[in-house]
Amino acid sequence: MTRLRLIAFGYFIALMIAASINYIPGLTDDEGLAFGIFALDIYDDALHVASALWALAAGLISHRAARIFLILFGAAYLGDGIFGMFTGWGYLDLGIFTNESLGVDLSLPRLFANLPHLALGGFALWAGWRETGGPP
């Protein structure tokens, strides 16, 4: 089992946890905000489950599949986090089509709301790219 396949399995677990946050009592407040920071809806849950299944499949298939997953997933999620910092909404959950831009806000709440995608995406992209120093 290669390191990248293990990382892909780790992403499967992390993304399934993200998909379950709304359904664990005590993790959302009265306003429906997870950890009091961000709201997750059915689109977010579907995105997380689909990404988790992609990670699982990639980890089971091969080292190359895991690397491709990490690079593509990483780029998409990192981009979504950066986009969220500048607009307040992401594109992966289709928020850019259903909400108006909130404008640039480099505050701590905005950073914390986008930090999961920035961190998960950044690490995945780094891990996949680092393996051979370039694209697959």
Contact in structure between 90 and 51 (CB atoms under 8 Å):
no
Q: What are phi and psi of 39, to 5 degrees?
A: -100, 140
pLDDT digits (tens, 9 = 90+) for 41-51: 778 888 999 99
| Whole-number Å distance between alpha carbons of 136 and 121 | 17
Top-confidence residue, 100 or 56? 56
Which of these, 127, 7, 133, lies nearest to 74 by C-alpha position? Answer: 127
CA separation, residue 45 to residues 5, 18, 93, 108 (Å): 23, 8, 9, 24
Distance CA 36, CA 4 (A): 33
In the chain, count H helices and then E strands.
5, 2
Whether 132 shows a pLDDT value over 90: the answer reads: no
CB atoms within 10 A of CB 10: 15
Q: What pLDDT band is residue 21 in, cutting at 50, 70 and 90? A: confident
Summarised one tens digit per residue, pLDDT across range 24-45 is 777 667 766 666 666 667 788 8
